[in-house]
Amino acid sequence: MLFALICKDKPGHLQLRLDTRPDHVVFLNDLNARGALKFGGPFLDADGKPEGSLVVIEAADAAVAQAIADADPYAKAGLFESVQVRPWNWVFNNPASA
């Protein structure tokens, strides 16, 4: 089952994001190696600076997806103002259905 992790950064925390990014990238690379990461990237503000994240993962259920979201180094560092974990259906341009 797919889940979208929709994360909004706390205002004024860009430096925390930059400082934590190397650990976040390692975390995502590990998810990718396990086949759980489908895609992801930052939301950008009007100046093109990151202000949140969208990460789509495959997980057995919502509890596992929430545990993955909670384990993200960005979340552990306190970067996010909010995190939504939402079931998601990849309908268009899904490479798995091609």
Q: Which two tokens stand for residue 79?
A: 């970067």
At the top level of CATH, which class does the domain 2-90 belong to? alpha beta
* pLDDT reported for residue 63: 98
Per-residue pLDDT of the chain (98 residues; tens, 9 = 90+): 999 999 999 999 999 999 999 999 999 999 999 999 999 999 999 999 999 999 999 999 999 999 999 999 999 999 999 999 999 999 999 888 87
Return the ∠ at Cα 71 (arms to 68 and 76), rounded to 5°: 145
Residue with structure tokens 């789509």? Answer: 56
* pLDDT reported for residue 97: 82
On whether the CB atoms of residues 6 and 84 are closer than 8 A, the answer is: yes
Question: Does residue 86 sit in helix, strand or coil?
Answer: strand
